[in-house]
Amino acid sequence: MKTGGDFISTGSDAFLGRILNQDGVSVGTCFQVHPGVLVTAFHVLQQALAIDLDLELEVGRVVSFSSLDGPDSLHFPAEIFAVDKRADLAVLKAENALSGSISHLMRSDIPQPGDEFQMVGFGTLRESYFDAEYMRLSARGRWNGVERQGDGFQIASGDAPGTAQGMSGCPVIRGVDDAVIGVLSGRYNSVDGWSHGRVWISRVESLLPLIPPGVPVPLQQFPAPAVPTGVSALTVSELDRTSLTSDERFFLPEAWRDAWEDATSAFSAGQIIVVKASPGVGATTFASCLLARITPDQTSIVQLEPGDWDSPTASAIPSKPHCAYLLDLKDPDHDLPSTAFMRDLEKTAELLNGLQSRLVLTIRESLLRGLSLAEFSHVHVVRLVDPPDPRTLVLRHLGVQAPQLVSVAKSEDVARHLDGMNAVQAAVGAAEIENLAEGWSGDSAEIGTLVARIAQSLDSYVGVLDLAFTDSSNSHSAPGGEKAADSPQQNLSAADRCLLLALSFKGKSRIALLEEDAQRLSSMLAGRVESSGKRSLYDVLAGPGVRGRLRTIGAKIAYGEIAVMARPAMATAVVRYVWDNYKSLREAVVDWLLQAEISDSSEFPDAASWISGLIKHGQDIDFVKNELKRVARRQSDDAVLAAVLSSLISDPHFRRQCDRLLYDWAERVELQPVVIEVARREYISSLRPIVLRRLQRVADAEKTHQKVPDLILQAFRAFIASDRSRNSFENAVEFWVRDYPTNMCAQYAAVAMIGSGRNVEWLIGLEGRGIRVGGLLAQLMLDPAGHASIGSLFASTAGDLERYEWLVVKLAEAAQEDGAILGILGLSSMLRGLGIAQDPMADLADRLELRLPRISEGN
């Protein structure tokens, strides 16, 4: 089939065409439902073939068609495939296809009376003494419903006064979702004025039997379920198919091959695919790359983000044609799938299949415990047990990002440290290799040094640390790792373990300060152990002094009495070892870390970087929800909590859980400053709507922190000041002013906009777009915090009497219609000090028929 051919693409009209008679003259409209499959009205073909209206059309006869705006001379043949004279419908097949097809069909019994629709097609209009042809003519209308004639035959109708001759056969497209809900048959030509503007519409139900078998036309067979009140729609973002299919970092590991083939079969069968896996295995990568490779090119791959739902809700899943949806369920508090949810997905699967769409869920394996999925025939579960081989994964990453380092990563001294990593850790390892090699000239003579540096950084030192942290009563040589003079040589006392951990966190420190930090850490850990009912943490008073102890832990003393790690790369290994093996002490460690003087130089990580890195390493968001929140609140350190969350939310593996956590915290008074700060940091770079929903939730909360007004205004002003976020934020503000004019979020946004120079012109623009500003102005008048904004509005009208009078009228209307008379009175002193030629208080008083002193009369 010649798709597109020599036709001119008309963008959104690319699926529309014209039917020509034997003289090449347009007689009606047609549209394409699938490449080479056209639909038109039966009577249009009768006109095209000059057949008497009482006669039948023979299947197999040929007519000519052209694109909607193509020249009459450029036309192609189409064969009549099927007809239904009573329904006034015909289907054609052509070798030459139009350059586009409709979005989807919808059964005509689904639209509701009053639904808006649009019709576009060829048309002729009578202009004085001649008929003028229009290659494109549109008409808007409203759906009436399905009518029943005397013999029981059903046909739909609508009201569309702009319908013209020649538009017969065009699709009737519902405005809300671009669904074709019928085919224009004709206009009701009233002779007595009754039913003026009514049009008859052939039903989709009559069209379906005429479409050639096996032609995959998306069809919505029943209404999409309504989203329950209080459940937000899922945030959607389209993934780039080309990027996914051309990404050389992806490979299909042998461990995934059976799951891949299993999922492919389930996709073809129209089942919803559930990919279950442990964190870090690579389930999201598996699902997105699978969809990119097995879905048709016209299918959009769409990532869904749950946002703020309390539990998975099937009705929140969108149902658009030609979409492959990918939904990650990770949060144990809000993404726990229930039996009811899985059952509801059966209807979702049926709806999506009709629309040539699919759904893949990736679910953390722990969330499915206790839930049997075998009973749901519409769901197919595939399990990923093992991650891809970390050595291969790192080589793939480096092959794309830094090909010159592939040979370095292949070195056994480097590669052996990659073994045992999951997919996320391997990707981090590849990035670490890149960072460590930064500045390397490529000189082969330096490869040995580079390999040693990378190997040292990637080394977990598990053998050395197992020995160092072994109970002295059970001392033994631990396997693995290197035993050298610059690493611990024996099992360490508890005090020395604290000394090693403190120096690992700090990177370098004056000896005296380091010893104090280690003692404080020892004390805090001891309190943690004793409070848990375990044995007391022993300490050693005798033995070597701090210098000897530094040598014992494998540290060295630099000039100026500065203690540093002899092997700097070992610091991360020490910290991770303690974090992984002493879970009960994590809170105490972080408590100490936030009090310690950690270097703020780029040479060593700060406290927030350490904490976020450890959380990512262990895939442990629960630590933020519980221990970190407690420590931060205890130390009144909102900054570190915000910094950690900002780092985590930028990581796709943690975004969903952070979104939900911050949504919940938005109504926790003591945590609202954290929510605002994370939003301020994130929005300019991500532009995600959910970030603004969080701020809206904070602003409109029943109780708010005393810092909320200042912090939200700072955030809003930052969004306005940034070229990247300004337009999207202003669009959100319009939505707030229109739908929530009396809410605090709209008031804060208006104050920020006005303070940033969006004055009366901005308000006039809102009114011009049908957004009433009276409710907003009333709130600004009633709240003393908004008075300065009213003053700025008046100051901006200086020298422009028309704008000044508009503002006076709007304020007076707001005072009367929105109950803000007292707000007007409260503006008196502020308005009298503006220094403009007019007297706003007097003019407002005149409008409202109030007796107030004028400026010339004094106070």
- Choice between 78 and 570, residue whose per-residue pLDDT is larger: 78
Q: And the tokens for 523?
A: 């004390």
Contact 522, 549 (CB under 8 A): no
Strand ranges across the sheet with 235-239: 235-239, 300-305, 323-329, 358-364, 272-277, 379-384
The strand pairing partners of 29, in sequence order, are: 18
Report how far residue 250's alpha carbon sits from residue 530's, in angstroms, rounded to the nearest whole number.
49
- Residue listed under structure tokens 């940091």: 681
Q: Is the pTM of this model over 0.75?
A: yes
Contact 132, 120 (CB under 8 A): no
pLDDT digits (tens, 9 = 90+) for 706-739: 999 999 999 999 999 999 999 999 999 999 999 9
Contact 440, 409 (CB under 8 A): no
At residue 827, the pLDDT reads: 83
Report how far residue 731's alpha carbon sits from residue 739's, in angstroms, rounded to the nearest whole number.
12
Q: And the tokens for 3?
A: 């798709």
pLDDT digits (tens, 9 = 90+) for 26-57: 999 999 999 999 999 999 999 999 887 777 78
Q: And the tokens for 588?
A: 């105490």
At residue 486, the pLDDT reads: 63
Q: Find the distance separating the first CA and the last CA of the chain, reported in whole Å.
A: 85
Segment among 354-363, 543-552, 810-819 with least mean pLDDT: 543-552
The strand pairing partners of 565, in sequence order, are: 555
What would you measure as the largest C-alpha separation in the chain, in angstroms?
Answer: 115
Q: What torsion, rounded to 10 degrees, do the Cα atoms 74, 80, 83, 88 define?
A: 20
pLDDT digits (tens, 9 = 90+) for 58-94: 899 999 999 987 776 688 999 999 999 999 999 999 9
At residue 169, the pLDDT reads: 96
Report how far residue 582's alpha carbon sits from residue 122's, in angstroms, rounded to the nearest whole number.
75
Q: Where are the alpha helices (DSSP H) in 359-493?
A: 390-401, 406-410, 412-415, 423-436, 447-458, 462-468
The stretch 12-17 carries a mean pLDDT of 88
Say whether 396 sits in a helix, a strand or coil.
helix
- Choice between 511 and 192, residue whose per-residue pLDDT is larger: 511
The strand pairing partners of 380, in sequence order, are: 273
The strand pairing partners of 20, in sequence order, are: 26, 64
Length of the chain: 859
Contact 260, 212 (CB under 8 A): no
Sequence-ordered list of residues with C-beta below 8 angstroms from that of 480, at least 6 positions apart, any chain: 462, 463, 466
Sequence-ordered list of residues with C-beta below 8 angstroms from that of 391, at least 6 positions apart, any chain: 409, 415, 418, 419
Angle (deg, nearest 10), helices 689-699 and 726-739: 50
At residue 55, the pLDDT reads: 72
DSSP-assigned letter for residue 566? S
pLDDT digits (tens, 9 = 90+) for 825-846: 788 778 777 778 888 888 888 8
Q: What torsion, rounded to 10 degrees, do the Cα atoms 794, 796, 799, 801 define?
A: -50
H or E stretch at 186: strand 179-187
**pLDDT above 70: residue 230:** no
H or E stretch at 91: strand 89-93
Q: And the tokens for 329?
A: 């369920």
**pLDDT above 80: residue 531:** no
Q: What torsion, rounded to 10 degrees, do the Cα atoms 543, 564, 610, 434 define?
A: -140
Q: Report which residue type is found at 247.
A: D
CA distances to 185, 310, 569 from 430, in Å: 63, 36, 16
**pLDDT above 60: residue 742:** yes
At residue 528, the pLDDT reads: 63
Indicate the pLDDT class of residue 472, thresholds 50, 70 and 90. low
Contact 773, 787 (CB under 8 A): no
Report how far residue 6's alpha carbon sits from residue 97's, in angstroms, rounded to the nearest whole number.
10
Handedness of CA 23, 28, 29, 32 (dihedral sign): negative
Indicate the pLDDT class of residue 680, thresholds 50, 70 and 90. very high
**pLDDT above 50: residue 482:** no
CB-neighbour burial class of residue 780 (10 A; exposed 0-12, middle 13-18, buried 19+): buried
At residue 618, the pLDDT reads: 80
- Residue listed under structure tokens 């990404």: 247
Residue 588 Cα to chain centre, angstroms: 36
Q: And the tokens for 108?
A: 């005509």
- Choice between 595 and 196, residue whose per-residue pLDDT is larger: 595
At residue 7, the pLDDT reads: 39
- Label the pairing between strands 2-3 and 96-97: parallel
At residue 373, the pLDDT reads: 83
Contact 553, 491 (CB under 8 A): no
CA distances to 135, 361, 434 from 76, in Å: 17, 45, 58
CB-neighbour burial class of residue 790 (10 A; exposed 0-12, middle 13-18, buried 19+): buried
